[in-house]
Amino acid sequence: MQTNIKFISADEAVKYVKSGDHIHFSSVASAPKVLIDALCRRGDAGELKNVFIHHLHTEGDAPYTEARYEGVFFHQAFFVGGNVRKNVQAGYADYIPIFLSETQKLYRSGALPCDVAMIQVSPVDKHGYVSLGTSVDATLAGIECAKVVIAVVNKHVPRAFGDALIPASKIDYFVEDNTPLMPAHFGQPNEIETAIGINCANLIEDGATLQMGIGAIPNAVLAQLGNHKNLGIHTEMFADGVLPLVEKGVINGANKKLDKGKMVSTFLMGSQTCYDFIDDNPMVAMMDVGYTNDPYIIAQNPKVTAINSALQVDLTGQVCADSLGTKFYSGVGGQIDFTYGASLSEGGKAIIAMPSVTNKGVSKIAPVLTEGAGVVTTRNHIHWFVTEYGAVDLYGKSLQERAKLIISVAHPDHREALDRAAFERFGPHFHFIG
């Protein structure tokens, strides 16, 4: 049992990184900033070259993606977060397209090496365990496969249960840093987002198991669920929006067949209140992403309702969620994992929800996707499509039928143009459909 551990400095710890190594960083609020800064100091000193860096979305600065480190660090993330987006689009950083469920498989299959895992953990408990807290995702696989594991021990990392608990003996070097985890705050939903939230909430049945991401639309949906009963959570992540529903007893997991009574997630991004919520909380199971995002695991719960967003949707139901034309904006993430998993669930509903127009009034529903746009959810996978103007079920609908339905929830200012485009694509008989 490893309870008395020896700490070294961050600068000492990163000396175990060699040129050509592949490094995994823990994700989101658990990004090991003190190690990242020390690693960059080695880069500045000219001590490293061709070091590959992998991670999911991270909060905080990502200096290793900057132009000055070209030839020193080669960033290849599994998701394009806001802190790396500009440099990915400029070509100084890069992205590996991958289903979130398979990020762990990259390491475990050997498709991607992992020489060094840099993680952040809670203090060692009396049983010799630490917790990965807010970031299990692909980090657990990184730990299993890495030749060297370096952990930042931070008293602010919550002691989460599930796969998050690992023996301290799996860690080679310990660094102490008690900087509070970086919180994420989300504004109140606006009128459009609230309307989308209402339309989505109307599709959620009592006893449903929910998956939804972060941001204004998920929060708007959650705000409408106060009168629901026996909701469960099986998701890739959650944030503060679920907490009032837990306190009210709306979210209790009573209807789940798998992990009954537990909220299952693989990472978190929220306020300190959210991080405190999972600390020593047996109701929350922070699990490996290969478990949370496996469509066949997801499908074992009844009435799985998955709500994901999009950047653009075309008239046939193709969903672009990762790029603006040729410029990568985010990533595949778990959208397909949960869209497919929900569609296999008994009574499940897969929902794509988005505002009908951009902030500049441009229609996000387009006759065809912008050149270079990536299709994340195919026209074969899409079921429910929701905007502030309503919800339509595209499952089992022909191309012409779904074009009619999609246009019906477009912004009124753009419906005529979209109708004309559909007419040109499908011919004059289009107007006799529906």
pLDDT value for 167: 97
Length reported for the chain: 434
pLDDT value for 431: 67
pLDDT, tens digit (0-9, with 9 covering 90-100), for 250-298: 999 999 999 999 999 999 999 999 999 999 999 999 999 999 999 999 9
Answer yes or no: are the C-beta atoms of 211 and 191 closer than 8 Å.
no
Per the structure block, which two tokens stand in for 333? 């993430």
pLDDT exceeds cutoff 70 at 328? yes
SS3 432: helix
Q: Considering 66, 102, 236, 388, which one is annotated as catalytic?
A: 236
Rg (CA), the chain: 22
DSSP states along 341-401: HHHHSTT-EEEEE--SB-TTS-BSEESSPPTT---SB-TTT--EEEETTEEEE-TT--HHH
pLDDT exceeds cutoff 70 at 1? no
Which class for 375: exposed (0-12), middle (13-18), buried (19 or more C-beta within 10 A)? middle
pLDDT, tens digit (0-9, with 9 covering 90-100), for 385-400: 999 999 999 999 999 9
Per the structure block, which two tokens stand in for 26? 């823990």
70 is catalytic: no
pLDDT > 90 in the chain, percent:
94
pLDDT, tens digit (0-9, with 9 covering 90-100), for 186-244: 888 999 999 999 999 999 999 999 998 777 899 899 999 999 999 999 999 999 999 99
pLDDT, average across residues 27-43: 97
Q: What is the mean pLDDT of the chain?
A: 96
Per the structure block, which two tokens stand in for 327? 């410029």
Element at 138 (helix H, strand E)? none
pLDDT, average across residues 339-347: 98
